[in-house]
């Protein structure tokens, strides 16, 4: 089935490959400094099994004039508010987030009313909320993070793109630095944790820490790749995501 042309939904979402008849929406949350376009290859590869709704964070791309919320809690509140009209009983939804986006995806799922939470949250390249530290914000500068994520090669030929990428990373690192974990009841959504085998920023043995944050099914996997699995030049874990979505709201992994 050929995908229709990309379109935006309000300020917050890009649909790179709209699939209006697909029963499930996969909301994707980009890494620090990332934009919705990072999920274009994933959206095309998943069609027609799922319709990707990619988050368009402020302060970059088509929203370069929109200010980023002052702190992580305010960002969660803003994203949850934007998502709420597109969720609810009878609408299948799942979240996929990478690195900073993984933490954001989980905290947004937790902030939503119980009847609007996604059936599945897939987190990639991130420690669990209880293990989250400020390392990315304190010990890494934006240029080093650009290198470690593997994105430096994509933009290094264009100084303007480099500056745009660094600006987005700095913005998100500042927000990330305000995150504070507070113990809470686990969400009921199924949760699946991923890591790239060559990720220089995450100990892949720590994925099981996410298990304590769900009351539903939990699974985890280390797969080929680095810190970012889905980027503007590769679709990421397409087969795994398709399999997880096909399992339905009560998977048995």
Active site residue 64: no
The rounded distance, in Å, linking the Cα atoms of 150 and 124 is: 15
Specify which residues 234 forms β-bridges with: 231
Q: Which residue has the tokens 């229709």?
A: 4
The rounded distance, in Å, linking the Cα atoms of 39 and 178 is: 26
Give the active site residue among 31, 213, 220, 227. Answer: 227
∠ CA 129-133-135, rounded to 5°: 145
The CA-based dihedral angle spanning residues 22, 235, 195, 139, taken in that order and rounded to the nearest 10 degrees: -120
Sheet holding 7-9, edge to edge: 7-9, 13-15, 51-55, 24-29, 92-98, 120-124, 190-196, 218-223
Buried b (16+ CB within 10 A) or exposed e, 65-97: eeebbebbeebbebbbebbeebbeeeebbbbbb
User: Which run of H or of E encompasses 171?
Assistant: helix 159-176
Give the active site residue among 99, 128, 137, 189. Answer: 99
Active site residue 213: no
Q: Which residues are catalytic?
A: 99, 227
């Amino acid at each position: 089935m050929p995908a229709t042309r990309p379109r935006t939904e309000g300020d917050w979402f890009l649909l790179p490959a709209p699939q209006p008849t697909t029963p499930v929406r996969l909301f994707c949350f980009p890494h620090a400094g990332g934009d919705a376009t990072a999920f274009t290859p994933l959206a095309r590869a998943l069609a027609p099994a799922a319709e990707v709704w990619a988050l368009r964070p402020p302060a970059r791309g088509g929203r370069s004039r929109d200010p980023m919320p002052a702190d992580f809690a305010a960002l969660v509140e803003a994203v949850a508010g934007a998502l709420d009209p597109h969720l609810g009983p009878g609408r299948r939804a799942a979240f996929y987030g990478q690195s900073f986006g993984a933490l954001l995806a989980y905290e947004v799922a937790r902030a939503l009313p119980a009847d609007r939470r996604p059936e599945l949250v897939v987190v990639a390249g991130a420690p669990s909320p209880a293990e989250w530290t400020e390392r990315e914000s304190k010990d890494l500068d934006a240029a080093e993070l650009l290198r470690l994520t593997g994105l430096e090669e994509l933009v290094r030929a264009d100084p303007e793109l480099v500056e745009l990428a660094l600006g987005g990373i700095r913005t998100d690192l500042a927000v990330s630095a305000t995150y504070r974990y507070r113990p809470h009841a686990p969400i009921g959504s199924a949760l699946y944790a991923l890591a790239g085998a060559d990720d220089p920023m995450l100990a892949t043995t720590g994925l099981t820490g996410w298990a304590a944050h769900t009351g539903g099914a939990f699974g985890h996997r280390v797969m080929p790749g680095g810190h970012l699995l889905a980027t503007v030049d590769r679709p990421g874990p397409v087969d795994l995501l398709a399999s997880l979505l096909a399992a339905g709201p009560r998977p048995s992994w």
